[in-house]
Structure formats: structure tokens, C-alpha cells
Chain A
Amino acid sequence: MASGVILEVENLRVDIPVAAGMLHPVRGIGFSVSRGETLCIVGESGCGKSLTSLAIMGLLPKTAQRTADRMDFLGRDIRHLGEREMARQRGGSMSMIFQEPMTSLNPSYTIGNQLAEVHLRHVGQNRTAARDRAVFLLEKVGISAAASRLGQYPHQLSGGQRQRVMIAMALMCGPELIIADEPTTALDVTIQAQILHLLAELQREFQMGMILITHDLGIVARVADKVQVMYAGKTVEEGPCETVFDAPMHPYTQGLLRCIPIPGLTRRGERLGSVPGIVPNLVGTLSGCMFRNRCDHARDACANMRDEPTHMGDGHAYTCLRAPEEILGERQAAGTP
């Protein structure tokens, strides 16, 4: 297992100075991704999941400060790598797919040019090899007449096609790790399923580690090996996908799970659950459980809670004061597993 670990992160923090003080969007996140494994980072908008991925890639805005106790990529500490060295990793051994396929490609260059460019940069100055790889991957991502598409410009492709091109681009140099930041959010529902299926398939085929960032638990259920639920810049629950879905411990995870319709179980016309309230402001000194203002089970003690996760074995862990006594008790009383 340890030999297959691609990325290991401990206590990652991102701080951004803003007019009102210091913003703490990511407050001590840790995870690991192994070869052939999909880690899903879940949470609502503003919980710090996109910044986490940008922090790994070294693409944070200039004003943001990144600290971590550990950030090992392929056994190498990448915390203090310079921009030049990081650039050598990006697009080569780690690559990223973004949320906005419509604007993520340069409108002035053909997709063939933009695909070949990564290969020429990281693999070598061989135009024929780069072109062949581009055609191979365009076919892989399901773009028809791949060779003739190389001369097309982004505006000649649909949103779904552009995201397929972005995926092909991320795969050009055979990365060990692929980070997909809400890759389907901007797409039609039918296309979403196709793109997701494609990503999962390619990840299996090339045995890459994948970090999939999403706010859609329906997606998680289908592709994840491991799940990490983030709230207000912290991990509130993590564990193997099945365990977390079967026995969610944190009230926030439970709330998110009530939001997804389950075919066959959710009745037509039935109201889906929601998590009321909004994400807290993350400026200044923060203490206690940040979810307590939105939590049905909150007590006074939650304001002073220390962030020590409770481990349940099997990698399943949660950070909640109330879960053991109340939540488990209520669940048993209600007769749900």
C-alpha cells in the first residue's frame, strides 16, 4: 500500500490576507492518494475544496500563503519547490481539469496546438510524437474524427467536447495524479454522466491517482474509493466511500446525504432534504466546531471543541462531539442502520 502512495498531505493550510483581516479558507487538511485510487473531496461552495487543489498544484493566487506539515508527491517533498521546478511537475506528472470548459481553452489556438504544447514541454521536442499522442487521446476521450479535429478552434466545439479535450490535455504526458475540480458542473446533466464515466474509466485504465472535487454526492457514490467531507476549511468526516455512505457519523455528512434523491426510494413529489443556513465567515481567529450554528445536535460544548478526529477503524474518522452519544442513539431509535 505505502509503495503505491502518490500524494500525501498533512495539515495543509491556506491563508489569504484580506481587507478585514486574515482569511483562513483551508485550515489543516490531510489526505493521501494511491495509484489507481479515487479520492472525492466533497463540500459546498466556499468550503476550501478548490483552493486545496490549487495549493497542491502550486497555482494559488500570489497573495495566498500555503503551509503544510507534509506534502509528498511521488516520495518527494514539494513544499519548498521553486516555481520552475513546480512547473516541471504540472502538466507532466500531475495535471488538473477545471470547472469551466467554455473558457479554459485559449480561443486563439487550435486544439491540436494546445494539446501538443504540453507534450512538447514535458516529453520532448518531437512534433510527430506529440500529434500522435493527441490523436490517440482524443479518440480515447470519445471525440470522433480525432485527426481532423486537431485543426479546429475551441469555439467550434461544444461544452462537453471542450471538457473532453481538457481531459485529453491532462492525460497528454501520462500523469500519476489527476485533479478534477468540479469537472461536470458547467455541463448538461446527460453530458455530466458521460464525462464522469469517462474519467472513471480512464483513471482505471491508466491506473492514475485521482482527486475529484465536487459538491455532488451522487457523483461521489458512483466513482469514489475514499471520501473526504470538508466544511469551512476542515475535514469533518473521511473514510472509504461505502462506509461513509452507509454509516455517516457527522451531522453535516448526514445532511448532505439527505439532499440526494435515490432512484426507487425517493418518492415522486417528496421534498428532498437540505442543510439550512450558510457557510460561516472564515476571517480572523476561529475556534470550536464551525458547523454548530447549522447543526440540530449542537450544544454549548461544541463552541470549545478541539479538532481531534474520532477514528472508527477502516480509515473512517469524523470530527464531532455529539456523534457518539446523541446521533448514534437517535439512529438506533429510528431504526436506520
Chain B
Amino acid sequence: MPAYTLKRTFVAFLILIVVSGLTFSLSHLSADPALTIGGEQASEEDIQAIRKLYGFDRPIYVQYFDWLGRALAGDFGESYHYKQRVFDMISERIGRTMLLGTLAILFALAVSIPLGTLAAMRPNSIIDRIALFIAVLGQALPTFWFALMMIIVFGVWWRWLPISGHTQWANYVMPTIALGYYATPALMRLTRAGMIEVLASDYIRTARAKGLSPASVLFKHALRNAIIPVVALAAVWFGFMLGGSIVIETIFNLKGIGWLSYDALLRSDLPVVQAIVLVFASFYVVLTLLADLLNAYLDPRISVR
């Protein structure tokens, strides 16, 4: 296990370096950053001045290491548009996005694991059909449409929930459901498939032959083995949810990083976009690493392979 942890951490570190390179080149591939900052009215002298000011005239690798060094220290530069420190802009909003993402993945797991387990216990029963229906619906409905429908029904018609903002807990209910429901089908079907396979295995027969209670057979012996792939997928989906909250945050006007990245993209605010991409990518790498380690803990055979 320690050797496995070290190996996975090293791989994650290499991925982060590649990601940082890609993120950095993003700003230089899309357009000349000096032109973007200066705007259409800028004269040739203005552009030259901007290049000098931001250091765009230096060799690209010098710029990269300079950028990386400062990014590691938390300095992502200043927003072109708001003239604020990008670090402050992100740290002010990241909590909301994390909260939304965490709530959404917990919602998805809370729905999909029991539903998938029930469906697996009685394949092709009514419960299984209903679960399948919910899953297909979740896969077919676009998130933004589902979110808008919820706003109309719960926000406008029945006035149960606030439709925008981030100041109270009630603000998070609809965004959580909209975002979490999107992940439910995949997680549920993986739980169901895993459970069906595990319930037919020899060690479940052994557990029953030992006279264990049905709950112990189901939860201790079956579920733990069945949810190993679900854990890995949930980590990936959590990453998606942090990044994928762009649409949801925009619809519900929940001012997290998703909302910020939408705003920054519209304004070509490159330092902000760059920083957000780097932050999301790092989340993703760290989450994948955590999922690997959690998997190795759940299934001790993994760290041997």
C-alpha cells in the first residue's frame, strides 16, 4: 500500500505538470494576449507597451516558468477586466462551487446506490423498471432544460424555493438536484450491474452458507465489492460537477467559479480562465488519485497488481 500510494502520487504529479503546460499554452494559442488586453482601438505603441508591461516579449519558456512559479505561490495575476487579483476572485467563490459539487455528488450517490441495489436484488421487477426509467430520463434530459423546468414548477408556480442567489441553504436545493441528477443514471446502472454480478458470486454463497443475516450478506459482503467501480466513477463525476457547474451556476445565478468562468470567457479575461482551468484540472487529478487510493483500500488486491 505505501509503495502503491507513492507510485500513484508520482503519476498524479506528472499529470499536473503536463496540465500546467497545456493551461499556459492556452492563452498563447488562442490569440495574441496583448491584442486582447488592448482592445480594438489600441495603437501599435500601446500594444508594444502592453507586451513590455506583461512580459509577453520574453521567450515563451521563460514566461511559462515565471507563470508557473507565481501560480504555485497562488499568484495568478490580475483580471484584465475587473483589475482584481485572480486569486482573490477565485477564493471568494470557490467555496460555493465546492459546496454545490459536494452536495450534488452526495445527492447522486444517495439516490443511485439504494436504487441500483434494489434493482439488482430483483432484476426485471417493477422496481428495476422504475429505476431504469429514472436513469434513461436522467440521461436524456439536458441539464439546463431540467433546471429551467424546476424553476418554473418549484420557484414560479408553487414558490417553494428561491430561484437564484447563494445566500441561504434553500438556494442550493434546486442546483444540487439539477446537477446531481445528471450523474445518477451512470452511477445507478454501475451499482446495479456490479450488484448483480457480486450477488451471483461464490463468496456470497459462502456468506449465506455461514448463516449470516440477509443485511450482513447484502451490505457487508456484496455492496462493498459492488461499489468499488462506483467509487472510481463517482470521483470522475465529482470532477465533472465542479467543472460542469458552469451551466447550473449561470442558470441559478449562484456566483461560484462556474459562474465566474462563464463571465471570464465572455470577456476574454484570460488570467481568470487560465487560473480556473488549472484549479479544475488540479481538482480532477487529486480526485482521481483519491479514488485510486480509496479503491486500493476497498479492494486490497488492487495495490498488488
Do A and B interact?
Answer: yes
- Contact indicator A118/B203 (Cβ below 8 Å): no
Chain A residues near B221 (CB, 8 Å)?
106
Within 8 A of A (CB), among B191-206: 201-203, 205-206
Known contacts A108-B224, A108-B225; decide if A59 and B206 are in contact (CB<8 Å). no
Which among B202, B212, B216 is the interface contact of A103 at CB below 8 angstroms? B202
B58 at the binding interface (Cβ < 8 Å): no
A243 to B210, CA, bound (A): 36
- Contact indicator A98/B205 (Cβ below 8 Å): yes
B209 at the binding interface (Cβ < 8 Å): yes
Q: Tell me if A's interface is mostly helix, strand, loop or mixed.
A: mixed
Which among A59, A92, A105, A107 is the interface contact of B300 at CB below 8 angstroms? A107
Chain B residues near A153 (CB, 8 Å)?
300-301
B298 at the binding interface (Cβ < 8 Å): yes
- Contact indicator B301/A105 (Cβ below 8 Å): no
Chain A residues near B225 (CB, 8 Å)?
106-108
Chain B residues near A155 (CB, 8 Å)?
300-301, 304
Within 8 A of B (CB), among A158-199: 166, 169
Smallest beta-carbon distance B179→chain A, Å: 31
A106 to B300, CA, bound (A): 11
Which among A87, A95, A100, A107 is the interface contact of B212 at CB below 8 angstroms? A87
A91 at the binding interface (Cβ < 8 Å): yes
Known contacts A108-B225, A153-B300, A155-B301; decide if A121 and B205 are in contact (CB<8 Å). no
Known contacts A100-B202, A104-B205, A106-B221; decide if A117 and B298 are in contact (CB<8 Å). no
Smallest beta-carbon distance B129→chain A, Å: 19
A50 to B263, CA, bound (A): 68
Smallest beta-carbon distance A187→chain B, Å: 15
Which among B205, B208, B209, B212 is the interface contact of A117 at CB below 8 angstroms? B212
A149 at the binding interface (Cβ < 8 Å): no
Known contacts A106-B221, A108-B224, A153-B301; decide if A117 and B203 are in contact (CB<8 Å). no
Known contacts A100-B202, A104-B203, A108-B224; decide if A95 and B209 are in contact (CB<8 Å). yes
A79 to B206, CA, bound (A): 21
A57 at the binding interface (Cβ < 8 Å): yes
- Contact indicator A90/B210 (Cβ below 8 Å): yes
B207 at the binding interface (Cβ < 8 Å): yes
Known contacts A59-B205, A104-B205; decide if A87 and B211 are in contact (CB<8 Å). yes
Smallest beta-carbon distance B302→chain A, Å: 10
Known contacts A59-B205, A103-B202; decide if A108 and B298 are in contact (CB<8 Å). yes
Smallest beta-carbon distance A134→chain B, Å: 13
A32 at the binding interface (Cβ < 8 Å): no
Residue with the greatest number of chain B CB neighbours at <10 A, chosen from A95, A96, A98, A104: A104
